[in-house]
Amino acid sequence: MKRTILLLVPATSPAVGGGESLALALITELANSHTLCVVSPRPLDVRLADHVLRHDGKVVIADAKIQRGVSQAPWEAGLFGLPHQLHDLLEATHYDLVWALSHESAIAAAIALADNPTIPLVTTYSEIATEYFPFGRARAAFAYSLQRVDLHVTLSETYQDVALAHGAIPERVMLNPLGFSVSGMREGNPDKGRARLGASVRQNVVFCPSRLSERKGQLVLLDAWEHVGRTGELLVLAGAGHSAETSYGEKVEARILAWKGSAGVKLIAEGVPRVEMPDCLAASSVLVQPSFYEGLGYSALEGMAAGIPCVLTDVDGFRTFMQDGSNCVGCEPKDEVTLGAALRRALDDARLRQAVIVGGLATSAGFSIELNSRRVLERVNVIPARKRSEQMSD
């Protein structure tokens, strides 16, 4: 059944990251099969926007300002500008579903839909708001406890636990990893990838695509690399610094600069655009994620889908799918010794490499955005009936 869907994406960069992966995958997949309107605080990547437009969809830039004459109060414009804009969109076009991908957009949608109880509101959050500051706990509690939300799609058991801990109604929580285009990750061009990563044909590339954040473990990875790096190998860290952790990114950059190129390490501080990830993966010999914890771990799954060995720490999020020796090479978090040993095994043990490649391909098949988004829409089909039942009981 073809639907008209209003998709609200967060103000994220086009670079690597779980939120970016989710937004890219959902926009691409939903535009293929449905009439899609994407509301974004910033312009989409040109290729992504063209994809939406070619499929008779549209892209709207979110504007937090209320038009003159509607409100003169600055605080009201700042607080209710987006809900007002969404209300106008909902008035102009009939939508079968509103899907919000951030706390802020979910709150705005709940306000905009306050007098329209029939349109289902679905949320999927790729953020764990308690991560960086105490205010995040209050924001998460407000977003998850919104009565107007009909379905919270949680990407892993970690996210599901966060949802329930912050007040989500259990019957309205669905565990579904959504995912990405599994087949698309296998279509990369290794020559383009090497050019993007700055690697020669002779170099084995160890690729770490992650935001520069303490929980991502890049400094531990650099400690490990001092003991395992050899001539002919290049470690590439790709990820912009997190706005709440600028000092951590500066430490990573300073550490790499101090080596003056002698350690075979490169930092791509602006990150790698999502559309270039298949090329970068095709050029890599190993993908490494030395995280201290994860919500799920899309980058690791994308590496598996691309058919390269992955080195992963044994932490929440990764435990959703990792099997040491079967689909990845595991190691302890915050431990450069076991991380270094895992990297050496992933680079040098041909039998192990082949085994985890095969296992990784099988694992990643379960994270198909095509399959999992259909499951969400099937669940959405029963929401109107549930709403009618609740109204009758009231």
Give the pLDDT band (50/70/90) at residue 98: very high
Q: How confident is the model at residue 392 (pLDDT cuts 50, 70, 90)?
A: very low
Pair (10, 98) in one structural domain: yes
Report pTM: 0.88
- Do residues 102 and 222 share a domain? no
* H or E element at residue 123: strand 121-123
Residue 17's alpha-carbon distances to 64, 140, 166, 168, in angstroms, are 25, 20, 24, 25
Q: What percent of the chain has pLDDT above 70?
A: 87
Question: Rounded distance, CA 241 to CA 252, Å?
Answer: 10
Q: In terms of residue numbers, what domain contains 105?
A: 4-179+369-393
The alpha-helical segments, DSSP class H, found in the chain are 18-33, 46-54, 74-92, 103-112, 135-144, 157-165, 190-197, 218-228, 246-259, 277-282, 298-306, 336-348, 350-364, 369-380, 383-393
For the domain that residue 234 is a member of, what is the CATH number? 3.40.50.2000
Which is nearest to 96 in space by CA: 124, 112, 119, 123?
Answer: 119
User: Of 283, 9, 16, whose CA–CA distance to 124 is shortest?
Assistant: 9
Res. 388: pLDDT tops 60: no
pLDDT digits (tens, 9 = 90+) for 68-87: 445 555 555 556 788 989 99
Mean confidence (pLDDT) of the chain: 88
Q: Both 375 and 245 in a single domain?
A: no
Residues 227 and 346 in one domain: yes
Q: What is the DSSP string of 151-178?
A: EEEESSHHHHHHHHHTT--GGGEEE---
3-state per-residue secondary structure call for 255-300: HHHHHCCCCCEEEECCCCCHHHHHHHHHCCCEEEECCCCCCCCHHH
Q: Do 188 and 287 fall within a single domain?
A: yes
Q: Are residues 352 and 375 in the same domain?
A: no
Does 99 share its domain with 232?
Answer: no
Question: Using one digit for the tens of pLDDT, what is the confidence trace for 265-312?
Answer: 999 988 888 789 999 999 999 999 999 989 899 999 999 999 999 999
Looking at the structure, do residues 322 and 200 belong to the same domain, yes or no? yes
H or E stretch at 316: none
Residue 133 and residue 267 share a domain: no
- Residue carrying structure tokens 């060995």: 309
313 shares its domain with 388: no
Rounded CA separation 383/127 (Å): 25
> Average pLDDT of 185-201?
95
pLDDT (mean) for 21-43? 92
Per the CB < 8 A criterion, the answer to whether 150 and 110 are in contact is: no
Flag whether pLDDT at 240 surpasses 80.
no
Q: Count of CB atoms within 10 A of residue 309's CB? A: 28
**145 and 98 in a common domain:** yes
Encoded amino acid at 373, one letter: S
Domain count, the chain: 2
**Do residues 283 and 249 both lie within one domain?**
yes
- The helix (run of H) or strand (run of E) holding residue 34 is none
